[in-house]
Structure 1
Amino acid sequence: METSARHQVSQSRKQAALFWPYCAAAPGSSHFRDAMAVFSRGELTGGRQIREGEPIGFSLRWRPGQLPADPCPCTLTIHSVPGACYRFSVPGYQAVLWLLEVCRSRAGHPTGEQAADLPQAFWTQVFSA
């Protein structure tokens, strides 16, 4: 294994160890590794089902911090609404908790059957701020 790849794996394990105490008791904690992998990518694209019909597409992008309490600047873009772009910041552990829910929800559906969606707590927090 290449030195930089080993360093990256080591850093990833250290980061996971720091975030784990914030997520251990959360619903979906069995999907912690998957959630951390999504967190490190810094992007999630999905769809929010509001009423019957097609889901409303969105993209959520963030800049992951190294520590759980580090600010995690986020940008939510709603695809069907021109100019609908919301910027906010949450602690990194909060983003991982939301991603745990996403991963837990996706695990119950075969690949491609359902677009990724963020939990209701995410939508409530973003639009009530």
Structure 2
Amino acid sequence: MTEFRIREVARLLGVSDDTVRRWVNDGKLTTGTDASGVQVVDGRSLAEHVKHLATGGDEDPVRRSARNTFTGIVTKVDVDGVMAVVEMHSGPHRLVSIMTREAVEELELEVGSRATALVKSTHVIVETPR
């Protein structure tokens, strides 16, 4: 069974250690202790909580083929002619999208606005630590 220390969970999800401890205290995450006696979060419990966070706890009323969605905040909008570069951050993830000026205006994207990026890719590379 995979286990994560509180600090590791916080870094993985882009939240503070205190937030993870609150989730533990609220019963949202299952914990135990490792061989060193340090509190750890059960990997399966963490996976279920992450899925819950991703949906906001609700079922999405829209069905789509893209499974990778990242809700975050727009941190940069660079419009040049008919094209634009939009950068956003979702937790620890930085996402960059190239789109038309028209799309930026239609979506009313500006620094500080909330947005969701949908990612559909035929190639996804997964790596794990040794």
**TM-score computed with the length of structure 2 as normaliser:** 0.32
Instruction: Point out the structure with the larger helix share.
Output: 1
Higher relative contact order (CA 8 A, sep 6+): 1
**TM-score computed with the length of structure 1 as normaliser:** 0.32
